[in-house]
């Protein structure tokens, strides 16, 4: 009997996280995002969701664009299901921006989920995992308190004050200032990091990417259940037409979409820049999460409506936080890394139904539970793996588990019930030993070939 081990793990699926990838300005878009079919055609879509969206937010100096784009999607979905709420009980962006369901106890409530400003999918996963969120009244957002500059200033002062004592091993018995004590209360492992860091830069960077100052809810406050429950949908588009089709389909169902743009490139357009922010003249990207809420045909040009989180004075008093841009201009400034551009939307579901998040790429489609935009828990996969295998079937925690159909790179076909990547019960047809060329066609029982199967050295 021969046990046959198939693919065990999928490669990690990563988000586009580079804040400054090389990027062409909007008048010379990369080929992968040039719209051809829909360059001047909205595909019959004429929709403006802005009147029904929540009030426009102002993130101020805080780099929380992903959080506010995610909040717009989530509050809009709640409002559609409960139209009488009139956005009176808005979600706390602070609670939405913290991941406290999966980390060690000492870090819960202190980890910034949207740590680089562009993980809208992960922000929504955090909310999905909690199932309930504080209101903004109970856990307010202060843009200055949560700005990177403010945090770094406070941490820099802490380093200067406490580093000499840490080097002498006297930090524990030192009579610290109230500010330093407050910082240590917020950052549980701050003294340890202080002792480990050789320089201020390494100390600051180690904290900047891991923690943020998180406020405290009002005494007696409790989280409000998210109703209805929701699923999150991520599409990685590889062409401008694919991007347009997703946006059009979402708008036809009155669903807004969060996208990532290169803000530095859009800033070259004075209409986008407006009078409320300074001009940018860089060739970097400056990734920024923004929300698509409309599309319409104007004088033969397809235009897309964007909702921002820079306050109601952007890009002008008339714009009130929204702007209509030609589709070709927007597509050319999308954040595109790994030759794809990301779009995120959500749909409602019944609370007793299983999570059916989706991730769609050129290589595969996945539907089921996710964690950090990767496959986690139960789900279904259809597509190719790195290495050339193709699989259609059930997954469990990033492994082939359950009923499925796998075609390996050498042409072998495995069909049946898998466990942790191994075909336990089912049928195997193909080469089982690439070195000898041995071929097997027959049943698999408990992970092994059987005497009922046929072995040969040729097909």
State the pLDDT at residue 214: 52
Residue showing tokens 């009139």: 86
* Whole-angstrom distance, CA of residue 328 vs CA of residue 335: 14
Cα angle: 308, vertex 327, 264; to 5 degrees: 50
Map out the domains of the chain with their CATH numbers: 31-140+221-342 (3.90.70.10), 148-208 (no CATH), 375-456 (no CATH)
How many C-beta neighbours within 10 Å does residue 59 have? 23
Q: Residue 186, Cα to own-chain centre: how many angstroms? A: 25
Query: 332: cis peptide before it, omega within 30°?
Result: no
What does the pLDDT read at residue 113?
A: 37
Cα 213 to Cα 95, 141, 269, distances in angstroms? 12, 11, 34
From the number of C-beta atoms within 10 Å of its C-beta (0-12, 13-18, 19+), residue 223 rates as: middle
Supply the pLDDT for residue 74.
97
- Give the global pTM: 0.79
Report the C-alpha gap between 148 and 325 in whole angstroms: 30
Average pLDDT, the chain: 80
**First CA to last CA across the chain, in angstroms?**
19
CA distance 96 to 117: 13
Q: Which regions in the chain score pLDDT beneath 50?
A: 5-31, 100-118, 211-213, 276, 280-281
Apex 457 CA angle, 455 and 459, nearest 5: 80
For 121, list phi and psi in degrees, rounded to 5. Answer: -60, -45
Q: How far apart are CA 107 and CA 186, in angstroms?
A: 9
Nearest alpha carbon to residue 140 among 208, 75, 90: 90
Give pLDDT tens digits for 135-193. Answer: 999 988 877 666 655 666 777 787 888 888 877 777 767 677 766 776 676 555 677 77
Residue 98: other Cβ atoms inside 10 A = 28
Backbone phi and psi for residue 181, each to the nearest 5 degrees, phi listed first: -65, -40
pLDDT at 18: 30
The Cα 48–Cα 256 span in angstroms is 10
Angle between helix axes 148-167 and 200-208 (nearest 10 degrees) is 130
């Amino acid at each position: 009997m021969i046990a046959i081990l198939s693919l065990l793990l999928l490669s990690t699926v990563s988000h586009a996280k580079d804040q400054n990838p090389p990027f062409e300005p909007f008048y010379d878009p990369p080929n992968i995002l040039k719209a051809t079919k829909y360059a001047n055609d909205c595909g019959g879509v004429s929709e403006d969701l802005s009147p029904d969206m929540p009030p426009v937010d102002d993130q101020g100096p805080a780099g929380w664009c992903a959080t506010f784009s995610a909040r717009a999607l989530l509050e809009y979905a709640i409002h559609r299901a409960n139209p009488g709420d009139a956005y009176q009980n808005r979600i706390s962006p602070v609670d939405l921006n913290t991941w406290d369901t999966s980390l060690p106890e000492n870090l819960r409530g202190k980890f910034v989920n949207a740590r680089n400003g562009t993980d809208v999918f992960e922000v929504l996963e955090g909310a999905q995992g909690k199932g309930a969120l504080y209101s903004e009244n109970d856990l307010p957002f202060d843009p200055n308190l949560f700005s990177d500059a403010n945090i770094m200033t406070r941490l820099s002062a802490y380093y200067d004050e406490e580093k000499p004592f840490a080097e002498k091993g006297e930090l524990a018995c030192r009579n610290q200032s109230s500010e330093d004590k407050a910082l240590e209360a917020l950052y549980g492992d701050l003294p340890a990091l202080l002792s480990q860091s050789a320089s201020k830069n390494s100390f600051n960077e180690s904290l900047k990417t891991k923690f943020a100052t998180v406020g405290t809810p009002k005494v007696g406050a409790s989280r409000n259940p998210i109703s209805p429950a929701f699923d999150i949908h991520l599409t990685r588009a590889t062409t401008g037409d694919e991007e347009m089709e997703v946006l059009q389909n979402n708008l036809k169902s009155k669903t807004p979409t969060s996208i990532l743009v290169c803000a530095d490139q859009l800033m070259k357009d004075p209409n986008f820049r407006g009078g409320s922010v300074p001009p940018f003249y860089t060739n970097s990207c400056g990734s920024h999460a923004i929300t698509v809420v409309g599309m319409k045909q104007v004088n033969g040009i397809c235009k897309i409506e964007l909702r921002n989180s820079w306050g109601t004075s952007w890009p002008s008093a008339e714009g009130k936080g929204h702007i209509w841009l030609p589709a070709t201009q927007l597509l050319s400034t999308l954040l595109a890394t790994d030759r794809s551009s990301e779009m995120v939307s959500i749909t409602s579901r019944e609370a007793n139904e299983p999570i059916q998040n989706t991730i769609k790429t050129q290589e595969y489609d996945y539907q089921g539970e996710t964690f950090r935009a990767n496959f986690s828990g139960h789900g279904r996969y259809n597509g190719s793996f790195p290495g050339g295998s193709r699989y259609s079937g059930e997954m469990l925690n990033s492994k082939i588990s359950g009923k499925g159909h796998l075609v390996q790179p050498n042409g072998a076909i495995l069909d049946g019930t898998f466990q942790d990547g191994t075909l336990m019960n089912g049928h195997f047809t193909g080469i089982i030993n690439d070195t000898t060329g041995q071929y097997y066609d027959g049943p698999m029982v408990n992970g092994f070939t059987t005497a009922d199967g046929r072995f040969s050295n040729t097909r």
